[in-house]
């Protein structure tokens, strides 16, 4: 079993400091450590440990991954036959089960030997504590919007002239970034898996966006999933929390009761103290400081939440509101997240392939008042799309693909939404685009917002989004202006 790959960075993501040398991990110098999972972040972790003087024994169930590691100079050792009493820690890839549905066998062996089970974020935190404990560090989590908010924070800091290092779950492994330093701000997206492996996570600013059902197979219950995510802000010097859902609101209340600084963000009012929005206008303590109207990269209320959280995080690091507003206006957006791919006549093509659950698709549908030709489907998640019933009036027609076709068709029938079974994305795109072009609507939106994982037909949401772009380009080429 290999670790889950982190998301590939978008071409439009802010550029981070080149980190070819990465961050050597000296906190395990001279000690023997086990490492399981030799995907991208696992290899980066092994290199960092070796560079810092650790004695590494690495393993992966995949022969191909083991071969790549050996070629890179990483010592490959079959951990099944290893002496676990000799290990100071187990470094676990975030893609490997820690607790649910059951602990991985390496976790059981480590616990029996009394060795802590940690990940690359924890190693970074220990290096920061040893090297430069005051080095600015922003960590971001939430079910939806993590990557956009992370990239936006890095963009705003770069716009303000700050040196930034962008990575974590958004792309570059954290230990492949340059080391923590007082003049350098690390901006790091953290998944719940990574937080679970980082007991000393203590960012300068922690951002907690939202909680909706996701990854329950890995955390057992949504309450445990939310509790794991809350750890990121619990250890932060300043917590930025979007309190639009019950889990995040409760987290903010707990931290405030403990006397910790909390910057509250609301997108559903009121417009008093804290960070809020009035339509596309962003407010701090009731006073507008920026306007997202006309922004193609920060469209919709969910992106207002992302922008408010990013603004609050950057303001906590001393950036003024005028600089923040100017930075928001120049943010190019991220690929596969409400990405405007093309416009032809009355037809707008939006690639929201990252919408892998119903809550994400909800945000996309709310961004348009109507005229949506919706492409959806894939490998469904718990709950399907029944929660989107209140938005069905915005949909002109739905185009179904993948494994979810029959279950989604039943929901759409109940909601009286016209739909077609298309099977694959190429068919869905052609039918949706043809219908949108012929609709006569002032604006017809061909929206890929699948509300599903991609793994029935694609290796990743990125691959699905790239196919959407390709199919749009082919449709446009066949109909020259």
Return the exposure string of 86-122: e unless at least 16 CB atoms fall within 10 Å of the residue's CB, then b. ebebbbbbbbbbbeeeebbebbebbeeeebebbbbbb
Asked whether the CA dihedral 219, 221, 222, 223 is positive or negative, the reply is negative
The residue whose two tokens read 């990483």 is 74
- Provide the annotated binding site for ATP: 142-148
**What does the pLDDT read at residue 216?**
64
Handedness of CA 178, 182, 187, 193 (dihedral sign): positive
Return the number of other C-beta atoms located less than 10 Å from residue 413's C-beta.
11
pLDDT at 10 over 80: no
Q: Which two tokens stand for residue 47?
A: 């290199």
Q: How confident is the model at residue 12 (pLDDT cuts 50, 70, 90)?
A: very low
Query: Exposure pattern of 328-355 as b/e (b: 16+ CB <10 Å)?
Result: beebebbbbbbbebbebebbbbbbbbbb
Is pLDDT of 352 > 50?
Answer: yes
Mean pLDDT of 108-134: 98
Which SS3 state, helix, strand or coil, does residue 88 take? coil
pLDDT in tens, 255-295: 999 999 999 999 987 777 899 999 999 999 999 999 999 88
Distance CA 245, CA 305 (A): 12
pLDDT of residue 213: 67
Candidates 109, 99, 107; CA nearest to 37 is 107
SS3 351: strand
| Strands 117-118, 90-92: pairing kind | parallel
Q: CA neighbours within 13 Å on the CB side: how many for 386?
A: 7
Euclidean distance between CA atoms 49 and 29, whole angstroms: 8
Q: How confident is the model at residue 14 (pLDDT cuts 50, 70, 90)?
A: very low
When the pLDDT of each residue in the chain is averaged and rounded to a whole number, the result is 93
| Euclidean distance between CA atoms 49 and 45, whole angstroms | 6
Residue 120 CA to residue 35 CA, distance in Å, equals 11
SS3 state at 45:
helix
**165 membership: H or E segment, kind and range:** strand 163-168
Write down the pLDDT at residue 345: 95
The answer to which of 42-51, 194-203, 204-213, 308-317 has the lowest mean pLDDT is 204-213
Where is the binding site, in residues?
142-148
- Residues written for the chain: 481
% of the chain beyond a pLDDT of 70:
94
Question: Computed from CA positions of residues 283, 289, 293, 295, in that sequence, does the dihedral angle turn out positive or negative?
Answer: negative
> What is the rounded CA–CA span in Å between residue 94 and residue 102?
14
Q: Looking at residue 214, what is its pLDDT?
A: 63
Single out the residue of 370, 330, 352, 365 nearest to residue 448, CA to CA.
352
Q: Three-state DSSP class for 254?
A: helix
Kindly state the tokens that stand for 159.
């716009």
Q: Which stretch of 15-24, 66-75, 387-396 has the lowest confidence by average pLDDT? A: 15-24
**Does 253 have pLDDT greater than 90?**
yes
Quote the pLDDT of residue 268: 85
């Amino acid at each position: 079993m290999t670790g889950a790959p982190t998301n590939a960075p978008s071409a439009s993501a802010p550029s981070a400091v080149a980190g070819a040398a990465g961050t050597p991990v000296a906190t395990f110098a001279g000690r023997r450590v086990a490492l399981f999972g030799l995907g991208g972040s696992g290899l980066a972790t092994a290199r960092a440990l070796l560079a810092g003087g650790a004695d590494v024994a690495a393993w992966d169930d995949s022969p191909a991954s083991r071969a790549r590691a050996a070629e890179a100079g990483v010592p490959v050792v079959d951990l099944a036959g290893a002496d676990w009493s000799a290990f100071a820690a187990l470094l676990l890839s975030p893609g490997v089960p820690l607790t649910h549905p059951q602990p991985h066998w390496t976790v059981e062996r480590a616990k029996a030997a009394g060795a802590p089970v940690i990940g690359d974020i924890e190693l970074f935190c220990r290096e920061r504590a040893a090297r430069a404990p005051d080095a600015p560090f922003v960590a971001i989590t939430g079910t939806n919007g993590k990557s956009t908010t992370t990239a936006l924070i890095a963009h705003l800091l770069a716009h303000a002239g700050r040196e930034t290092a962008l990575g974590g779950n958004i792309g570059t492994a954290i230990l492949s970034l340059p080391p923590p330093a007082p003049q350098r701000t690390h901006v790091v997206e953290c998944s719940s898996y990574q937080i679970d492996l980082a007991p000393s996570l203590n960012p300068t600013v922690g951002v907690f966006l939202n909680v909706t059902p996701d990854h329950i197979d890995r955390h057992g219950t949504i309450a445990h999933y939310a509790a794991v995510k809350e750890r990121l802000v619990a250890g932060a010097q300043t917590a930025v929390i979007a309190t639009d859902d019950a889990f995040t609101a409760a987290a903010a209340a707990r931290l405030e009761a403990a006397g910790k600084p909390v910057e509250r963000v609301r997108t559903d009012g009121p417009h008093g103290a804290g960070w809020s929005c009035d339509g596309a206008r962003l407010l701090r303590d009731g006073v507008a400081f920026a306007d997202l109207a006309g922004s193609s990269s920060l469209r919709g209320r969910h992106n207002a939440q992302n922008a408010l959280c990013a603004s609050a995080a950057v303001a906590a690091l001393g950036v003024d509101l005028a600089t923040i507003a100017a930075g928001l206006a120049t943010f190019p957006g991220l690929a596969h997240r409400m990405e405007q791919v093309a416009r032809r006549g009355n037809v707008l093509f939006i690639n929201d392939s990252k919408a892998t659950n119903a809550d994400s698709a909800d945000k996309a549908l709310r961004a348009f008042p109507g005229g949506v030709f919706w492409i959806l489907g894939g490998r469904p998640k718990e709950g399907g799309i029944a929660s989107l019933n209140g938005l069905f009036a915005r949909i002109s027609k739905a185009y179904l693909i993948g494994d979810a076709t029959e279950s989604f068709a039943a929901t759409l029938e109940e909601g009286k939404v016209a739909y077609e079974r298309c099977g694959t994305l190429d068919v869905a795109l052609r039918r949706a685009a043809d219908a949108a072009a012929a609709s006569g609507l002032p604006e017809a939106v061909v929206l890929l917002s699948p509300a599903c994982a991609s793994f029935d037909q694609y290796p990743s949401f990125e691959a699905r989004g790239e196919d959407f772009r390709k199919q749009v380009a082919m449709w446009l080429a066949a109909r020259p202006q």
